[in-house]
Structure 1
Amino acid sequence: MGTKEAECIETGFTGHGPFEVLASITSVKREQGGVRTALLYAPEIARRAKPMQFVQVKVVPLTDPFLRRPFGFSRISPDEGIIGITWATVGKGTSLMAGWHEGDTVAVLGPLGNGLQVDRISGIACTPPENAPEQHTGRGNPSRSMEQRSKGRSVWLIAGGTGLAPLYPLAESMKPQVSDITVLYGAKTSASLMDTSPFGAMGCRVTVSTEDGSKGARGRVTEALGRLLASAGETLRHNRPLAVACGPAPMLRAVKSMLADTPVELYISLEERMACGTGLCRGCAVKAASPRRGYLHVCTDGPVFPAGEVLLGGEG
């Protein structure tokens, strides 16, 4: 590639990270929906990253803004050493990121968070990243056992706004073991819709909703979820779909409420302000559903949680 990391300092357990990396920007692209995606050459992070984990990025090599910004992975390519982050311009930090160019370097800390351990969920398996070390459990061929666990279960990916971006590596990791993936995606208008074609190219069924009806079905993504529930009917009890929701807090609350009394197993990805990304500042604490657990940290316990483990705003 011609570029290499200027610095890589391991900050966690040996061989696992997180790593402090000076990453080279290999491309910056303005995309549909008014978002930008940057691809970063950070092989130490790319080789260990899991879907729904995140990185903390120092957007400029200055003290203003002082705090790093958290971004979920919109691409994970271990063989190329590439990670992708996608953002909308909403404040000072992301406005400065609009000035990024190919060849620039940025300080990145990651991978952070637990992500979604898909291979630990009954009936779902994920594809190990290419060139990733094989993990033996002492119970036979690991890849064969994953295939055996993946039979028959559906996956629903529910996204609003830029919440679509981190779901792409998740869907990619589930293919080809999971054949039935439905993507429900919504935004206010067609102008704010991200490109869903990469999901379609993977074989996912994609339903798009806009609140003004300018593209796809008129209404919110939760209305599309209601139609999906109705069409699934009695098959829900046998199939017990896995749902993962990522998007604005009101959407997450609505999705959680809709699926609370169904057989659907729901995971939600939370977005909170994160100063450190390692649990030290406690700025991203959310209330746990269990009083015994008190508060959980989005950065270390999440950002993905089983929906029943956390209380969202207005609950409890």
Structure 2
Amino acid sequence: DRDPKFDLGVVEAFLAMNAASLAQRFEKAAETRDWSWSPLGCAVLVKDESLIGYLLDVAGSVVDAAAGPYGMTALHVAALVSYEVGVVELLNRGATRDLPDELGRKPLDLVGLSAAGQSSEEAKDGASSFCRALLENDPNITGVLASAAAKGDLAAMEALFAQGARPWIAEDSEPPIVAASRSAPPSKTVSILSLLHERMDELGSADSEEGLNAVNASGETALMHACARGDKEAVAFLLGHGADPYKLDSEGYTAEMWARKAKCTLRNGTLVSLGELRAAQEN
């Protein structure tokens, strides 16, 4: 006579998918007779995106149904443990941002209260900021988009754009395009820059001071950081889309001077290593 969410067949399906941590949680629930956690709640708690999708798409779980103690929904649980991907997934599937639990708490009220699954305070703070931005539906929270860009998190950026975020940040925060060039994983930098440029182009800012040539508090551009990292693909992308190689930072340095930090130089719109240049000259 239990809710279908507790169907043991669903638990067996979890086992087949090798969700060992989830199976253990159900075993503990069976021992203590504590059935306050639904499969969907547990899937969110252990941060298993594939299981969340399985439950919602195949097993018939309802996205806004009680999933944890005190009537917490899956979105409450995702907010509690600062599960960024889970928050995005649940919101995209129609979860209600401001649905209260039995104690009157909305998902936003629980953001970051648990450090579960976070390896450091910095990681927890970053996840909490992102989750809070989504749940508040506030596209102007300082630094959230830039933080996602710096991490190379395309999914987070897409989610923020879907909530109305703009590809530039005001009030002394680092522009996302600069953050991406400075810190994004090299394998993802061009994809991040392309996404930002596409969004800026849609909003008519790609060639303005708010666009490719936006600067941080030190006057540094995305092109300067791409040059300093020796990222040839990022440099080619930025120059190919109109970044200004002659712009000066607050200390009077150009992108060419920043390229010297990586023992490179700019030649005809291309970043070339000084070693390659010398070898070519010798030949």
Confirm or deny a common fold (TM above 0.5): no
User: Which one has the bigger helix percentage?
Assistant: 2
User: Which one has the bigger strand percentage?
Assistant: 1
TM-score (norm 2): 0.27
Query: Which structure has the bigger radius of gyration?
Result: 2
| RCO higher in structure (CA 8 A, sep ≥6) | 1
TM-score (norm 1): 0.25
